[in-house]
Structure 1
Amino acid sequence: MASPPSPIADLRAPRLLSLTDELLEEIFLRLPTPTDLARASTACGSFRRVITDRGFLRRFEAVHTPPFVGFVPEGQDGFYPAQPPYPSAPLARAVANAADFSYSFVPIGRWLKPWRPRDHRQGRVLLECLPKYDDRYDFKRVVFLMDLELVVCDPLHRRYVLLPSVPQEITAQHGRIVDFDAFLAPAGQDEEETSFKVICTARNKTNLFAFVFSSVTGRWCIAASPSWSSLGTEAPGYRKLAYPDYACGCFYWTGHWVGKLLVFDARKMEFSIVNSVPSSYLIESSSKSGIVGGAEGTPLMFFFGSHREDDSLDVLHITKLNTSEPSGQQQMEKIIPLARQCRYSICGVAEGFLFLHGIPGGQPLAHRRQRRNVANREYFLLDVRTSELEKVCEMKHDFFRVHPFSGFAPSLLKPCV
C-alpha cells in the first residue's frame, strides 16, 4: 500500500508550479519579437498556456513596441501593408489577406453613406458617417453633433460596436457647437481589455468641449468645457482643429497658434495651452510637425528645419516638450539629417515611431491622372529611440495623413451577426 504524500510535498508542489510559470514568463518577456513568441508557443502545451494568458500578453505588449504592419489612409478605405525587405512584411501580408479594411461587415448607417476611417489605435479602427461626408469642412452648412454616427471595429476579427448618438440634452445648453472631431483614446493599464473610450472634441466662440464615450457605461458625457479665455487664448476662427497626435497620455494639436500647442490630458480630462518651439525654428509656418512619446516617457516634438543656407527640407529637429511648466521655453534636443534624394513630410505618428512621406527630388504631387508618369513615392518609419530610418513601402499614391497600423486588438468586442 502506497504511503500518503508528505504534507511538505503538498505545500511545495503548487509553489514550484507557480514559480515555474513565473520563470517562464520572465524568459518569454525577453524574446525580441512577437514572431519569436508565437514560435515558442508551439513548443509544448505549458509554453502555450503561459504565452496565451492575457495577463502575460499585456506585460509583453508593455515592454515591446507593437510590430508595424502597414497604414490606413485617413478618410479612405484600404490597407497598405509593409513591403519587403521591411522585417514585418510577412506579417503585414498575412494581415492584409485576413482582415477586411473595406469594413463590409459593418451594417450601413442611418444616413446610407459609406463609413470612413477617422482613427486607429491598438488594432481598432474608428469609423464615422455624416449626412453628407463632403460637407465636413463646409461651415455654411450646419451639421449637428448628434448627426455624427460612429463605429469602433476590429477589421481582423470582423467585429464592431455601434456607438449611440451624443444626446442633445448634454449639448443644447451650450448653443451652436461646430468643428467636431472624434478619435480613439488608448486603454489604460488598469482598465479591462474589453473596454475603450472615444473622445469627441467640439467648440464654439466661447468654449472648447470634450465629449467622452465609455464602453463600460455605454454613455456619452461632457468631460471638459473650458472657456477660451481661461486657456489664455482665442478660438481659431473658422480654422478646423487638425487631427491630434497622441503621446504619453495626452493629445496634442499643432499649427493653430504660433509657438503654442493645445493639449488634452486624457488621464485628467483637462485642456491646457503650452509653449511650443519658436516659429523662427520652423522653415515655414505651414510646416507639419509630429509628437511622439520618447523612451523616458517624455513627449518629443519633431519638425522640419534647416541649419544650411539653402533651407532645404533635409533636417529633422527634435525638442523635448515640457508640459509640467506650460509657460517654459522648450529646448532643442537633437538634429537628424535625412538623405537628400527625397522631399520629406510628416504624415503620421505611431507608438515610438514617426511616419514620413518622401517624394523624389523634383517630382510633382501625384494626381490621379499623373500616377502612371511619376516616380514611386517612398514611405519611411523613423525609430524615435535609435533615430534609424527604414523604408516601409513605395507606391504612386501621395498620402499626407495616415494612421499607422500596429498591434492587434484582443478579443474584446462581442461577436456581431
Structure 2
Amino acid sequence: MATSSKDMPSPLTEIPAHLLVEIFLRLPTAEDLARASAACVSFRRLTTDGSFLRSFRRLHAPPLLGFLDYGRFRPALPPHPSAPAARALALAADFYFSFIDSYCHWTVQDSRDGRVLLDRDLRQHEQPPVFKDLAVCDPLHRRYVLLPPVPHGLDASLEPLFPMVSEAQCKAFLDPLGEEEIAAGETTFRVILMANCKTSLAAFIFSSNTGQWQAAASKGWSDLALGKHDMAEMSWVHPFILRRHYAYGCFYWDWVEFGRKKLLLLDTRKMEFSIADLPPGEWNKEGLAIVEAGEGRLGMFGFHGEATSNLIYTVARNTGKSPRQWQVKKTFLLDSGYKYRIRDATQRYLLLTRIDASSSLNDRLTGYFAMDVKTLQIQRVYEKQNYRLHETYPYINFPPSLLSSRRI
C-alpha cells in the first residue's frame, strides 16, 4: 500500500528554528558547527546570527589550537581534538606576518583571543627608543593595526617618578577581553605597556576604541612594601623574564625564580599595583601558574621541592585578588623520568613542557601538554625531537577580524 505524504517523517529543514538552535548549541565543537552551517542557507542563517554565536561561545571553551614561539606557529598535533582545526589554521593564516608593510623584523610579544601582539626589532639602532613600535594583528584574516607611539607628554609627566626613564625596561601585552566582549565577537582590543624602572613601576594602556594611549598606573617600589634587598634586586629584572598570569581582571607576576615568595599584581579595573603572598611552601623555580578556580577564587599550579614530578593544585579559600589562605585540592603524580616545566597559563589552559631527564640536549624529545583547568584533564599538544625551548604563547580561538582598514 502506498504511503501518503502525511505519513512521511518531516525533513530536518522543517524542524522549527528554535529547536534547531537548541540542537546546534549542543554540538561539541566549533568545527561541527561550521560543517552544519554549510549544509544549507537556512542553517547558515541561524548559526551566524549574533545572539546565537554569543550563546555558543558562552557554552563552549575556546579551542587551544597550538602555540607561537620564536616566530613560528606550532599547531596542535593528533590525537589532540583541535588538530584538524589547527592544521587548517596553519595553512590558511600567515604567521610570518608578511602582510605588514615593513622592512623591519617583528617579534611576537603576546597572543590572546586569536590575535597577536608584535613589536618592531630595532637592533640596528645604536640607541633604540625606550618604547618600541607595536602592532596588533589578525594572522587569519591578514589584518593589522599599527599602534601610535606613546605620546612624549605621558612619559615626560612621569619623569619625577622615573628619573632614569631611559633605563626603563618595557614589556607590552594584551589585556584580555571580558566574557561578554568575547561572546559578542568584539573586534576591540587593549594593549598594556609596563615600564620597570630603577625605583618605580608604570603602566600605560592603549584602547582601539579611542586609538590613544593613556597613563594608567604608577607605583614606587618602596610603596609596594618591599624591603631594600627586594627593591635592589627587582629594579633590574626585565618584565620579559617574569612569568605573567591573568585571573579575574588582574595580572600576576611571580618572583619564585629569584627566591621571593611574592606576587606582583596589576588590577586592570582600578589600574593599581600591589603585592600579595604566595601559598606557604618551597615552590620550585620551574614554574607557577595563577588561574581562575571558579566562584571568584584563585587557583595555583606549581611544583613543590626540587623535583618536578609532583604538580600541586592549590585553591584560595577566600575570594578576591589577594588570597590569605590556601587549600591543596589535588596532587598530580607525573612520570619521574621526565623534567617538567610550566610554560604559560591562560584563564582556561595550563601549558607544560616535558623532556627526558636522562637525554642529551641534542637528542631529546620535547613534548608540550595542555591541562584544562576546569576539567583537570591533560592532553598532548605538540612533540618534536631535538627541539629547543623558547618563549611560548598559546594560540587560542579563531579571531574576529580587526578593523576594516588594514592599518592606522
- Which bin holds the TM-score, normalised by the shorter protein? 0.7 to 0.9
Deviation track 1:242-267 (CA, whole Å, cap 9, x = no partner) reads 24112222211012572211111222
Cα deviation, residue 84, structure 1: 1.3
Partner of 2:264: 262
| CA deviations over 1:171-193 (Å, ceiling 9, x no partner) | 11322331110000112345571
Answer yes or no: is the 8 Å Cα contact 1:65–1:351 preserved in 2. Answer: no
| Structure-2 change in CA distance of 1:248 and 1:156 (3 Å) | same
Q: Quote the residue 2:74 is aligned against.
A: 80
**What pairs with 1:13-412 in structure 2 (closer than 5 Å)?**
23-73=19-69, 76-108=70-102, 112-132=103-123, 143-146=128-131, 148-175=132-159, 176-177=164-165, 178-189=168-179, 191=181, 193-233=186-226, 235=231, 236-241=234-239, 242-255=242-255, 258-278=260-280, 280-283=281-284, 286-305=285-304, 311-321=306-316, 322=318, 324=320, 326=322, 328-365=324-361, 370=362, 374-395=363-384, 396-412=386-402
**TM-score with structure 2 length normalisation?**
0.84
| CA displacement 1:111-135 (0-9 Å, x = unmatched) | x5300000000110000014228x9
Is contact 1:203-1:209 (8 Å) kept?
yes
Aligned length: 373
Letter in 2 for 1:47: F
Give structure 2 stretches of 5+ with no counterpart. 1-15
Give the whole-Å Cα distance in 2 for the aligned partners of 1:156 and 1:325.
35
Q: What's the counterpart of residue 12 of structure 1? A: none
Q: What per-residue deviation string (whole Å, max 9, x for no partner) do you get for residues 54-91 of structure 1?
A: 33223322221111111101xx2111111112111111
The structure richer in strand per residue is 2
Contact 1:224 1:271 in 2 (8 A): yes
Shift of 1:166: 0.5
Shift of 1:329: 3.6
Distance in 1 (CA, whole Å) between partners of 2:171 and 2:142 is 24
- Deviations along 1:308-336, one digit per CA (max 9) or x if unpaired, are xxx53200011224563737243333211
* Bigger relative CO (Cα 8 Å, ≥ 6 apart): 2
The verdict on how the C-alpha distance between 1:327 and 1:91 changes in structure 2, with shifts beyond 3 A counting, is: closer
Instruction: Name the CA shift for 1:50/1:267 in 2 (closer, same or farther; >3 Å).
Output: farther
Deviation at 1:397, TM superposition (A): 1.2
What letter corresponds to residue 282 of structure 1 in structure 2? Answer: W
SS of the aligned residue for 1:61 comes to: helix
> Any idea what SS the aligned residue of 1:145 has?
coil
In 1: Cα distance, 2:270 partner to 2:17 partner? 37
Quote the offset at 1:31 in angstroms: 2.1
Summarize the Cα distance change of 1:186–1:155 in structure 2 as closer, same or farther, 3 Å threshold. same
How does the TM-score come out when normalised to structure 1? 0.82
State the shift of 1:297 in Å: 4.5
SS at match of 2:398: coil
Work out the CA distance in 2 between the residues paired with 1:332 and 1:179. 36
- Residue type of the partner of 1:48? R
Query: Cα RMSD over matched residues?
Result: 2.5
1:226 Cα offset (Å):
2.3
Q: 1:48 to 1:56 in 2, by over 3 A?
A: same
Per-residue CA deviations over 1:345-404 (Å, capped at 9, x if unaligned) read 111223411111110131233xxxx3xxx1321111122223222111211213253111
